[in-house]
Structure 1
Amino acid sequence: MSHGDPNNPYGAPQQGQQPGYGAPQQPGYGAPQQQGYGYPQGQQPGYGYPQAPPVQQQYGMGPAMTSMPGTVSAARALLWVIVGLQVIGVALFAIAAVSVNAAKDDNGLKDNSDFQRLADQSTGVMWAFVVFGVAWMVFAIVLATKFNTGGNGVRITALVFAVVTAIAGIYPFVIVGLVHTVLGILIAVFVGNSTGSAWFNRPRY
């Protein structure tokens, strides 16, 4: 049987002859696909895809604070102002208590029972104020020194300290406590706001 002229383009292809023009070539088994290497087209990783965020940085959060914010630093400075005022107040109450106690021994007042009774009460109240003033001063010093390293517990304690200071400035220390009231309110605002919360709750590595 004749297979025709091999130079005839219209002849049937001989057995084993490669397909002519227009015949698509099928890839053999095991040959890699042109695109994707096993990934669907357009989904393979490559340039333009976002990289994973660093492990140290969480989504929606900036870097951890390394320096104390201005408002928190101001609250600490106000605590030191309260320490200075406590020193002055303790000294004044102590001097007043000593003076009243000395007046009890005055010859013209020894026989005055009303004055003696009032002097005893006043001296006791003044010494109580001295003790309270010293304790409050030490409390303020401890809080001020903990602002750099303290956590949320220091923040809550500072809030309680500021609120009590503000209330005590209204009563019973009405005359000498108005400055303490203003300072207490400012400390509570600076420590209790979002900046103060972020500082005292910052991660520590």
Structure 2
Amino acid sequence: MSFGDPNNPYGPPQGQQPGYGYPQQQPGYGYPAAPGYQQPGYGYPAGPAQMPGGVKAARVFLWILGVCQALAGLLLVLGSAMFADRIRDAISSDSSVSSTDADKAASIGVGVMIVFGVIVLAFAFWAIFTAVKFAGGRGGVRVSAIVYGSVVTLISLVTLLGGNFLALISLVLSILIIVFCANKAGGSWFNRPQY
């Protein structure tokens, strides 16, 4: 008996596909997964591998607004002493106002400037912290950026109506932050699966 004999019961089956009778598996994958179980990355839409351009732009705008606000807050806090001296000089030049009243007015002015400076520094920290979290961010970072953009948009509109035309820059940047984070590409970046 040779193995070439088609009637040989111990030879390879003739006319059948190799692996007949055995379940087909993908090479390198062991046992099939249980029904309803999805291995990470299989069966789910894949998120973007790189940060979309609009999201990158929103991150840059957050950095720009944060740094500008940090500088403005520092100028308000540090410039409050110079502001107090000017108030004191202006009030003391009027002979009807006493020096204690001039000091009180200067102290109130300094206090108001320092409070505004601290508020502006807090906004700067918010923008910079949110921008730092963009790379590995989740949905909370996206919400933080959208809320920040909304608050800055409102403040920019109020100051623009007050005659400060530099607020137009922050208005445009904050609107772009909202648009770039709220669109579909921003949603897919911040809601992507993280393994």
TM-score, normalisation: structure 2:
0.66
Counterpart position of 1:69: 52
How far does residue 122 in structure 1 lie from its aligned partner after superposition? 3.1
How far does residue 57 in structure 1 lie from its aligned partner after superposition? 4.0
Aligned residues: 151
- 1:163–1:188: 8 Å Cα contact kept in structure 2? yes
SS of 1:82's equivalent in the other structure is helix
Deviation digits for residues 54-102 of structure 1 (CA, Å, limit 9, x no counterpart)? 963437x4x3311100000000000010122113312332344221212
How far does residue 104 in structure 1 lie from its aligned partner after superposition? 4.5
Q: Does 1:81 align with 2:64?
A: yes
Counterpart position of 1:58: 43
Letter in 2 for 1:189: V
How far does residue 203 in structure 1 lie from its aligned partner after superposition? 0.8
Question: Unpaired segments of 5 or more residues in structure 2?
Answer: 1-37
Compare CA radii of gyration and give the structure with the larger one.
Answer: 1
Out of 137, 143, 146, which is 2:133 matched to? Answer: 146
Q: Does 1:132 align with 2:123?
A: no
Q: Distance in 1 between matches of 2:72 and 2:178?
A: 22
How far does residue 149 in structure 1 lie from its aligned partner after superposition? 1.0
- Bigger RCO (CA 8 Å, 6+ sep): 2
- 1:103–1:109: 8 Å Cα contact kept in structure 2? no
Question: Unpaired segments of 5 or more residues in structure 1?
Answer: 1-53
Q: Distance in 2 between matches of 1:103 and 1:162?
A: 35
Q: Distance in 1 between matches of 2:177 and 2:145?
A: 8
How far does residue 178 in structure 1 lie from its aligned partner after superposition? 2.8
| 177-186 or 101-110, which deviates more | 101-110
Give the helix-richer structure, 1 or 2.
2
Q: Distance in 1 between matches of 2:51 and 2:132?
A: 13
Residues 165 and 68 (structure 1), Cα distance of their counterparts in 2 relative to 1, 3 Å cut: same
Q: Does 1:190 align with 2:180?
A: yes
SS of 2:92's equivalent in the other structure is coil
Q: Distance in 2 between matches of 1:119 and 1:201?
A: 51
Within a 5 Å distance, the mapping from 1:162-201 to structure 2 comes to: 162-172=149-159, 174=162, 175=164, 176-201=166-191
SS of 2:150's equivalent in the other structure is helix
TM-score, normalisation: structure 1:
0.63
Q: Please give the root-mean-square deviation of Cα atoms over the aligned residues, in Å.
A: 2.9
Residues 179 and 112 (structure 1), Cα distance of their counterparts in 2 relative to 1, 3 Å cut: farther
